[in-house]
Chain A
Amino acid sequence: MLANAVIQIGLFFLIVVAISVPLGRYMARVFSHEPTLLDPALRPIERLIYRLAGVHPETEQSWVEYAVAMLLFSAAGMLLLYALQRLQGLLPLNPQGLSAVAPDLAFNTAASFTTNTNWQAYAGESTMSYLTQMAGLAFHNFVSAAAGIAIAIAVIRGFVRRNAKTIGNFWVDLTRATLWILLPLSIVMALALVWQGVPQNFAPYVQTQTVAGATQTIAQGPVASQEAIKELGTNGGGFFNANSAHPYENPTPLTDLIEMLAIISIGAGLTHTFGRMVGDRRQGWALFGAMAILFLMGVAIATWSEQRGNPMLTRAGADQRASAAQSGGNMEGKEVRFGIVDSALWATITTDTSCGAVNSMHDSFTPLGGLIPLLNMQIGEIIFGGVGSGLYGMLVMAVLAVFIAGLMVGRTPEYLGKKIEGREMKLAMLFILVFPLVILIPAAIAIVLPAGLAGISNPGPHGFTQVLYAYTEASANNGSAFAGLNANTPFYNVTLGLVMLAGRFLMKIPVLALAGSLAAKRTVPPSAGTFPTNGAVFVILLVGVILIVAALTFFPADALGPIVEQLAMRHGRLY
């Protein structure tokens, strides 16, 4: 069993390395406007989009113009999604006759998908029409991901350019990320998913008489197209309530493998895109290395804890021992086809990135197994990370790491030839501080207000973890859940919606300002006193800084939730 776990996780990691290098090279070409194989097919579509939208692709934007374009585009998309939900009863492609979504839920969902969070306070199959799923939700899956990639590229340009006033054109980066990266990968992946059994139809739900004579209504829909972009764009919003645990979203171990690779590959590839664009591939490998260390640590702990199981299940008479005939372990909330290893691996990946799709129910994980997804989000989803957001989050941590290294030796810190000075550090600290602020304060409010307490479904420390997890995932734009929390209430819909917007835009704006500030600087040549950021020492320092920042910020809160629950569980305490 241990051997199989090591082989599955090890092979998975090797495939990620093998995919991310060429993918990173390809993305660097796309955003440097170098020729690619897809140009003959895509250039005409690109030009048509610019003409229809009135974009002047040759115009460059300052960081302020870039940020304004991103904000206006997000606002327009959020409005479209809100309108589609409110009007879906009158619109086509609604064979189940689903009625308008309530205003607070429609706001929450619009904020959620616009910010790439894809938190779902609703059950897809009983709430959203096919049209809303496609043109509302899947559309945002594409463009919120494309906007994330665009901003990461803009930040890279900030490091590359010298004495420059501009960092690119948002509309061009958005369009190219959609056309050259997300759409082609989605088409191939969606067809592979259909082959494996993921439905893609517009039929009404199927009414059957089961073998045992009961009736069963089987929800249908255009699932495959949405499933593909949901993973590739690290969005995570499921077509169905059970998300990728649903056999229609994720029917086989092969689809599970494809979907996990889709979640992680673009984020991993962007480290190499970064290395190529800054002209030193080892810089990219250094970030990749730091991410890989954190990833492997997380998945090892989560897998071990879930496989070890829950002593309470053994006392109740269940056999949790692994054998050739069963996976064993804590199977509550998990699917037989994924067992322990693929469930723990998925839970780690989906929170390393900002995906939030789940193939098992995190609420039913052992406390330690559930702590890993929570921690992954609390360190900022920079382990490969959300498409785009992972890279720029990691770059902010790298800036912090060189700053701390500079303090230790008493020199002005540099990163990639750019002097890191007061303005850059203020922006980096703003980015780092906004995040815990919008998690811990709303969570603290929720656990003293009756409206917040009313949503908790599990007693004891686990109930607190449910609330902490909800605000963490909302701020981190993740969207996975301790799903027992009854969050479809005006209180949670509104507060979580606002936290998602803050977690996205209050962090993106400082990052773009940082990019603008760096682009305007000249580049200094490396000297004997320059701390090299492409070697093992930097990787270790970076991992250390990330863990210390997260631990200092979140340990007290986590101690009240999963940590105390783990101790209680080992001592046989129930609530």
Chain B
Amino acid sequence: MRLWVALRMTIVLAVLTGLVYPLAIAEIGHALFPFQADGSLVRRGGAIVGSSLIGQNFSAPRYFQGRPSAAGDKGYDADASGGSNLGPTNKALATAVAARVRELRERNPGATAAPVDLVTASGSGLDPEISPAAAALQIPRVAKARGLGEDAIQALVRANTRPRFLGLFGEPGVNVLMLNLALDRLRPGGRPTGS
């Protein structure tokens, strides 16, 4: 008798909270915010090139680079999110960070400091952002690789920097994918093309 009530209650509440509720949120969510509900996917020339919320690998000098990623074997695997989970006294962490600092200095001659976010792996492995300090460090390299003035790049960085919420909560960040897409739209003269 009591078990029978428990089983029926389980089914009733599973249907309500496990099916009706998420389906309703999907319906309303798509009606109100279709772009976000479908994952904030970004298109270029009709093809999906990623999501504005999900970071991706960039290694060419003409692009800003994101943070080191521990997601998947090659990093930024958006089907295998996660951090390095290396502990603070693990030798492997010290070795990895030292190697990243060396590489950063080779790629960006003249860079003095290595902003900590640019040499440490993010928690998700998909962090779409870098700190403004990490972006500023890369401006001379990107400008040189593209044959553009640093001012033009600087302006784009500023346009793709998200401030703190209400100026108080969280930290400012520069969206690497959106910044690089904006860079590709720049003509050598420094002005954005139509597309």
**Residues of chain A at the chain B interface (Cβ within 8 Å):** 4, 7-8, 11, 45, 49, 52-55, 68-69, 72-73, 75-77, 80, 123, 125-126, 134-136, 138-139, 142-143, 171, 174-175, 178, 183, 186-187, 190-191, 194-203, 205-206, 208-212, 214, 216-220, 222, 224-226, 229, 240-242, 245-248, 251-254, 256-257, 309-310, 312-313, 315-320, 323-339, 341-343, 358-361, 363-367, 457-463, 465, 482-484, 565, 568-569, 573-575
Q: Complex: how many Å from CA A568 to CA B94? A: 14
A222 partner residues in chain B, CB cutoff 8 A: 22, 25-26
Are B78 and A318 in contact, with the CB atoms below 8 A? Answer: no
A575 partner residues in chain B, CB cutoff 8 A: 89-91
Instruction: Looking at the assembled complex, report how far the CB atom of A368 sits from the nearest CB atom of chain B, in whole angstroms.
Output: 10
Are B126 and A242 in contact, with the CB atoms below 8 A? Answer: yes
Are B171 and A217 in contact, with the CB atoms below 8 A? Answer: no
Q: Does B140 contact A (CB under 8 A)?
A: no
Most central of B3, B77, B86, B128 by chain A CB within 10 Å: B86
Beyond A76-B9, A174-B9, A218-B50, 20 additional contacts (C-beta under 8 Å) are: A53-B9, A135-B14, A194-B36, A199-B38, A200-B22, A208-B50, A217-B77, A217-B79, A226-B22, A252-B170, A257-B165, A312-B89, A315-B94, A317-B98, A318-B120, A327-B131, A329-B116, A331-B120, A335-B129, A361-B82
**Residues of chain B at the chain A interface (Cβ within 8 Å):** 2-19, 21-22, 24-26, 28-30, 32-33, 36-41, 44, 47-60, 63, 67, 71, 74, 76-91, 93-94, 97-98, 101-102, 105, 113-117, 119-134, 136, 162, 164-165, 168-173, 177, 180-181, 184
Are A248 and B84 in contact, with the CB atoms below 8 A? Answer: no
Most central of A178, A327, A360 by chain B CB within 10 Å: A327
Instruction: Looking at the assembled complex, report how far the CB atom of A88 sits from the nearest CB atom of chain B, in whole angstroms.
Output: 13
Q: Complex: how many Å from CA A336 to CA B90? A: 22
Task: Evaluate whether A458 and B124 lie within 8 angstroms (CB atoms) in the complex, with A201-B39, A222-B22, A336-B129 already known.
Answer: no
Q: Complex: how many Å from CA A300 to CA B118? A: 26
Task: Evaluate whether A247 and B18 lie within 8 angstroms (CB atoms) in the complex, with A197-B36, A218-B51, A335-B122 already known.
Answer: no
Are B86 and A458 in contact, with the CB atoms below 8 A? Answer: yes
Q: Complex: how many Å from CA A339 to CA B170? A: 7
Q: Complex: how many Å from CA A23 to CA B60? A: 53
The 6 lowest CB-CB distance pairs between A and B, nearest first, are A253-B170, A484-B85, A245-B123, A135-B18, A339-B171, A317-B101
Are B184 and A318 in contact, with the CB atoms below 8 A? Answer: no
Residue in chain A with minimal CB distance to B128 = A247
A462 partner residues in chain B, CB cutoff 8 A: 87-90
Are B57 and A80 in contact, with the CB atoms below 8 A? Answer: no
Are A72 and B48 in contact, with the CB atoms below 8 A? Answer: no
Residue in chain B with minimal CB distance to A222 = B22
Are A483 and B85 in contact, with the CB atoms below 8 A? Answer: yes
A241 partner residues in chain B, CB cutoff 8 A: 80-82
Are A248 and B170 in contact, with the CB atoms below 8 A? Answer: no
Instruction: Looking at the assembled complex, report how far the CB atom of B164 sits from the nearest CB atom of chain A, in whole angstroms.
Output: 6
Task: Evaluate whether A253 and B165 lie within 8 angstroms (CB atoms) in the complex, with A73-B9, A171-B5 already known.
Answer: yes
Are B173 and A333 in contact, with the CB atoms below 8 A? Answer: no
B132 partner residues in chain A, CB cutoff 8 A: 324-326
Instruction: Looking at the assembled complex, report how far the CB atom of A472 sits from the nearest CB atom of chain B, in whole angstroms.
Output: 17
Q: Complex: how many Å from CA A68 to CA B44? A: 59
Please report the number of residue pairs spanning A and B whose Cβ atoms sit closer than 8 angstroms: 421
Chain B, interface SS category: mixed
Most central of A211, A225, A241, A246 by chain B CB within 10 Å: A211
Instruction: Looking at the assembled complex, report how far the CB atom of B191 sits from the nearest CB atom of chain A, in whole angstroms.
Output: 20
Instruction: Looking at the assembled complex, report how far the CB atom of B74 sits from the nearest CB atom of chain A, in whole angstroms.
Output: 8
Q: Complex: how many Å from CA A257 to CA B173? A: 16
Task: Name 28 A/B residue pairs within 8 A (Cβ), A-sorted.
Answer: A8-B169, A68-B2, A69-B2, A73-B10, A125-B79, A171-B5, A186-B21, A190-B25, A191-B25, A201-B26, A201-B38, A218-B50, A222-B25, A224-B37, A242-B124, A247-B53, A247-B124, A253-B165, A253-B170, A318-B97, A331-B117, A333-B121, A335-B129, A359-B123, A361-B85, A458-B87, A482-B85, A574-B89
Q: Complex: how many Å from CA A565 to CA B88? A: 9
Q: Complex: how many Å from CA A68 to CA B93? A: 50
Q: Complex: how many Å from CA A562 to CA B28? A: 46
Are B50 and A205 in contact, with the CB atoms below 8 A? Answer: no
Q: Complex: how many Å from CA A224 to CA B133? A: 32
B83 partner residues in chain A, CB cutoff 8 A: 242, 245, 332-333, 360-361, 363-364, 483
Task: Evaluate whether A458 and B90 lie within 8 angstroms (CB atoms) in the complex, with A139-B17, A245-B83 already known.
Answer: yes
Q: Complex: how many Å from CA A313 to CA B115? A: 11
Residue in chain A with minimal CB distance to B51 = A218
Are A187 and B25 in contact, with the CB atoms below 8 A? Answer: yes
A229 partner residues in chain B, CB cutoff 8 A: 17
Are A187 and B127 in contact, with the CB atoms below 8 A? Answer: no
Instruction: Looking at the assembled complex, report how far the CB atom of A19 sits from the nearest CB atom of chain B, in whole angstroms.
Output: 16
Are B89 and A126 in contact, with the CB atoms below 8 A? Answer: no
Are B80 and A336 in contact, with the CB atoms below 8 A? Answer: no
Task: Evaluate whether A574 and B114 lie within 8 angstroms (CB atoms) in the complex, with A201-B26, A246-B126, A312-B88 already known.
Answer: no
